[in-house]
């Protein structure tokens, strides 16, 4: 590629060392003078190590702080999530226990109710004398009294 | 024989000392030039300083292998160019750092002019010319910019630029011609 460029340059490009027009020459001289002035000013600028160290320390501190924040955020997020999960699990367990208790209470109530009904049915049945047997009962009473008289 | 072996460590120590002194001289002579080239290439003072330090650190590590086939300046400039390339290559990979740059803008860079006795008007005109050249330099490819800066800021010979960049002189000329055409176009001439 360089060879191609080389051939092209020899064939068509004007030589780099051509006589430059005065305006371009002036611009290049000004540019050179400007770069020299800038670099010398920066090169000779009193620069204490403290400045550099402080700047780098700040960058380093900022980087580490950010990393620390991210790490702390991740860890605390995880812990928070875990804590929330625990709370949710506890609440769910409590709710389940309450439900179980409620169901047991209801079951007990139902059982009690059924027992009461059965008991009342039993009492009602035992108290009631069937009317169809009533005359027989009377007869048995009469027979008993006659035997006693004899 | 015994005297010779006794002298050997001293000779080595002396040679090391000489090499260190020579390297210190090289640093003293070329540090500003390397910094200037890197500053003009990046327009970033911090980055230019860092790369200059890295350049001399690398040069110091490899000072023993420098055989003087080219001038020390050419050798150092080549190291600086490679470091700069590595820096931009690494930066491209570090996508999260791409947005952050300390490079000064073109107007700020153009404000630097040597303190002369010229009039206010002349200084304004000079500033405008410098800004035009900066704008043209901004649009150049990395290789064209390197060649342009080495030629018109560091005033290296074409052969030295060729040695520094590893290009042939013809290629250097071609890059220079295109860079100059860009500057001309920026200044309102024909491209």
Residue where one domain finishes, among candidates B45, B62, B97: B97
The reply to whether B38 and B7 lie within a common domain is yes
What's the pLDDT tens digit per position in A83-106?
999 999 999 999 999 999 999 999
Distances (CA, A) of B25 to B22, B65, B80: 5, 17, 18
Tell me: do B31 and B90 sit in the same domain. yes
User: Between vectors from CA A110 to CA A109 and to CA A111, what angle results, nearest 5°?
Assistant: 90
B63 and B129 share a domain?
no
Tokens of A14: 């004007």
Burial of A20 (0-12, 13-18, 19+ CB in 10 A): middle
**CATH code at position B34:** 1.10.1740.10
Residue B73 and residue B33 in contact, taking contact as beta carbons nearer than 8 Å: yes
**Residue B143 has what pLDDT?**
92
Kindly state whether residues B62 and B126 are assigned to the same domain. Answer: no
Rounded distance between C-alpha atoms, residue A102 and residue A104, angstroms: 5
B1 and B92 assigned to the same domain: yes
Any idea what DSSP says for residue B99? T
Question: Looking at the structure, do residues B49 and B125 belong to the same domain, yes or no?
Answer: no
CB contact under 8 A, A39 and B39: yes
Q: What is the mean pLDDT of each run of 10 residues along chain B (191 residues)?
A: 54 72 86 93 89 92 80 91 88 60 70 72 86 91 94 92 92 94 80 42
Instruction: Tell me if B68 sits within 8 A of B157, measured CB to CB.
Output: no
Residues B137 and B171 in one domain: yes
More confident residue, A146 or B162: B162
Q: State whether B170 and A27 contact (CB < 8 Å).
A: no
Structural domain range at position B166: 105-191
Which A residues 72-111 touch B at CB under 8 Å? Answer: none
Phi, psi torsion values for B154, nearest 5 degrees: -90, -10
In terms of domains, do B51 and B110 share one? no
Same domain for B154 and B68 = no
On the CB side of B72, how many CA atoms lie within 13 Å of its CA?
18
pLDDT the model gives residue A16: 46
Whether residue A6 and residue B171 make contact (CB cut-off 8 A), yes or no, is yes
Please provide residue A18's backbone torsions phi and psi, each rounded to the nearest 5 degrees: -65, 160
Q: Sorting pLDDT into bands at 50, 70 and 90, what band is A133?
A: low
Nearest to B151 by CA among B139, B134, B165: B165
Task: Give me the mean pLDDT over the A58-74 stretch.
Answer: 90
Q: Does the pLDDT at position A58 exceed 70?
A: yes
| B53: its two tokens | 């330090």
Residues B169 and B82 in one domain: no
Residues B110 and B79 in one domain: no
Q: Quick one: B163 and B123 in the same domain?
A: yes
Q: Which residues contact A143 (CB under 8 A, 6 or more apart)?
A: none
CATH of residue B146's domain is 1.10.10.10
Q: Which candidate in B33, B114, B141, B189 is best for mutational testing of the A interface (most A CBs within 10 A)?
A: B114
User: What was the ipTM of the complex prediction?
Assistant: 0.83
- Own/partner contacts of B117-126, CB < 8 Å, gap of 24 or more, are B126/A30, B126/A34
Q: Which of B80, B97, B114 is the last residue of a domain?
A: B97
* Interchain CB contacts (distance < 8 Å): A and B: 109
CB contact under 8 A, B36 and A36: yes
Number of domains into which chain B is organized: 2
> What pTM did the predictor assign?
0.61
Instruction: Provide the b/e sequence for A37-47 (b: ≥16 CB within 10 Å).
Output: bbbeebbeeee
* Helix count and strand count (H, E) for chain A: 4, 0
Query: How far apart are alpha carbons A18 and B184 in whole angstroms?
Result: 14
Of B32, B62, B97, which residue is a domain's last?
Answer: B97
What average pLDDT does the structure give for chain A? 79
Tokens of B99: 């947005």
Question: For A10-34, what is each residue's pLDDT tens digit?
Answer: 444 444 445 678 888 989 999 999 9
């Amino acid at each position: 590629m360089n060879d191609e460029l080389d051939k092209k340059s020899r064939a068509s490009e004007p030589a780099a060392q051509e006589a430059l027009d005065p305006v371009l020459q002036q611009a290049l001289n000004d540019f050179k003078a400007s770069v020299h002035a800038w670099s010398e000013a920066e090169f000779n600028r009193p620069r204490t190590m403290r400045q550099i160290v402080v700047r780098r320390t700040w960058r380093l501190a900022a980087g580490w702080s950010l990393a620390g924040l991210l790490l702390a955020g991740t860890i605390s997020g995880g812990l928070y999530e875990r804590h929330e999960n625990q709370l949710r699990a506890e609440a769910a367990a409590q709710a389940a226990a309450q439900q179980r208790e409620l169901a047991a209470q209801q079951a007990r109530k139902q059982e009690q109710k059924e027992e009461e009904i059965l008991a009342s049915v039993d009492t009602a049945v035992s108290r009631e004398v069937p009317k169809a047997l009533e005359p027989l009962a009377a007869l048995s009473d009469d027979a008993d009294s006659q035997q006693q008289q004899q | 024989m015994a005297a010779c072996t006794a002298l050997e460590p001293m000779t080595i120590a002396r040679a090391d000392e000489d090499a260190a002194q020579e390297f210190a001289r090289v640093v003293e002579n070329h540090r500003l030039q390397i910094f200037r080239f890197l500053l003009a290439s990046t327009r970033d003072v911090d980055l230019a300083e860092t790369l200059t330090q890295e350049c001399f650190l690398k040069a110091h590590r490899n000072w023993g292998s420098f055989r003087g086939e080219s001038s020390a300046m050419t050798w150092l400039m080549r190291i600086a160019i490679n470091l700069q390339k590595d820096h931009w290559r690494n930066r491209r990979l570090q996508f999260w750092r791409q947005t952050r740059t300390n490079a000064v803008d073109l107007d700020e860079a153009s404000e630097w002019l040597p303190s002369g006795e010229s009039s206010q008007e002349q200084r304004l005109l000079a500033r405008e010319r410098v800004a035009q050249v900066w704008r043209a330099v901004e649009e150049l490819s990395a290789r064209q910019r390197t060649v342009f800066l080495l030629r018109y800021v560091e005033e290296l010979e074409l052969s030295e630029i060729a040695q520094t960049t590893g290009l042939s002189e013809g290629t250097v000329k071609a890059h220079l011609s295109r860079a100059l055409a860009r500057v001309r176009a920026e200044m309102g001439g024909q491209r």
